[in-house]
């Protein structure tokens, strides 16, 4: 089982993937500790961690390209 919490960091920005990736749905979260995490959100609401990227400083924002193939942070 995977969940969004209990992470000890505060998330700064949350973005769901665009409809172009349907039927899959992803949630990206940025944080003050420089991490960008991505989860696949199941229809049941359960989440599965699918990605993690680290930056050198806080990540204040993220967004997806319209086709969902790229995420910017």
pLDDT tens across the length of the chain (73 residues): 445 555 556 788 999 999 999 999 999 999 988 999 999 999 998 999 999 999 999 999 999 999 999 999 9
Residues 6+ apart with CB under 8 A from 52: 35, 36, 37, 38
Three-state SS at 47: strand
Place of tokens 């961690």: 49
- What is the length of the chain? 73
DSSP string, 2-36: B-S---SSPEEEEEEPPGGGTT-EEEEEEETTSEE
């Amino acid at each position: 089982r995977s969940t969004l919490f209990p992470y000890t960091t505060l998330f700064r920005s949350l973005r769901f993937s665009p409809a172009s990736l349907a039927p899959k749905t992803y949630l990206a979260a940025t944080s003050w500790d420089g991490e960008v995490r991505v989860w696949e959100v199941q229809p049941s609401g359960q989440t599965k961690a699918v990605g993690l990227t680290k930056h050198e400083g806080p990540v204040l924002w993220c967004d997806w390209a319209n086709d969902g193939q790229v995420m910017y942070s």
